[in-house]
Amino acid sequence: METVPDRRMIHAEDAPHPMAGRFRGFLPVVVDVETGGFNPATDALLEIAAVLIEMQGDGTLMRGETYRYHVQPFAGARIDPASLQVTGIDPHHPLRPAIPEKDALQRIFRDVRRAVSDNDCKRAVLVGHNSFFDLSFLNAAAAREHLKRNPFHPFSSFDTATLAGVAFGQTVLARALTAAGIGWDKASAHSAAYDAERTADLFCLICNQFQPIYRETMERVARLDINLGEIEGGPPFAEPAVD
């Protein structure tokens, strides 16, 4: 007589990655951009960095791999000299290893899509300090370069300025990091990679400190047998998996 396997039994290797359940199927990815101004439609994207977030065995988050690219200004891009004074970037320096905007985004998107798949998530969600700024430049550049496989949610994001304001009473990145005990190197600031990595450290620290609240919530949901996915108020559009 053939034995029918118990469908309730799930082998560990077949179970979804724990990250898939932590943020409703989203994979948080920290992004920082350095630009030639404040208008994503007209101003140059000069640097972009993406930092992956990883989950450890105990459910805590930690900073993962960093991807960082210098970007050539797109044709006709506006560059405000005042922005360059802040960032210290010389867009036309002969030794600057800049690549075309389309290439930079394609490389970032490819690595993020791989991470989304590896974590059994369906989409990435951008994490940034004043995240609307980074997301607006990311979306504008993707549209300008006609890139269709953007793994990031088009409008949702996690803003560490808001989170740090709640957790530490500070919204400026340098002050929030100092208050959190992480530290800040002024000489390294306004590098996309450095800012993204410090933002990732801040995001992980806040999430880890809120972990007891998250666990209590999940226990309450399980105890009351609540299916949050069936509650009205979902997204106004489909969120297909990113392949």
CB 49 within 8 A of CB 66: yes
Catalytic residue among 17, 70, 153, 190: 190
The DSSP bridge pattern shows strands 26-35 and 98-99 to be unpaired
Find the angle CA(20)-CA(223)-CA(22) to the nearest 5 degrees: 15
Does the annotation count 17 as an active-site position?
no
Give the DSSP letter of residue 211.
H
32 is written with which tokens?
């920082």
Is the distance from CB of 46 to CB of 71 less than 8 angstroms?
A: yes
Instruction: In whole angstroms, give the CA distance from residue 20 to residue 122.
Output: 8
- Cβ atoms within 10 A of the Cβ of 39, count? 13
Q: How far apart are CA 41 and CA 87, in angstroms?
A: 19
DSSP, res 44: P
Residues designated as active site: 190
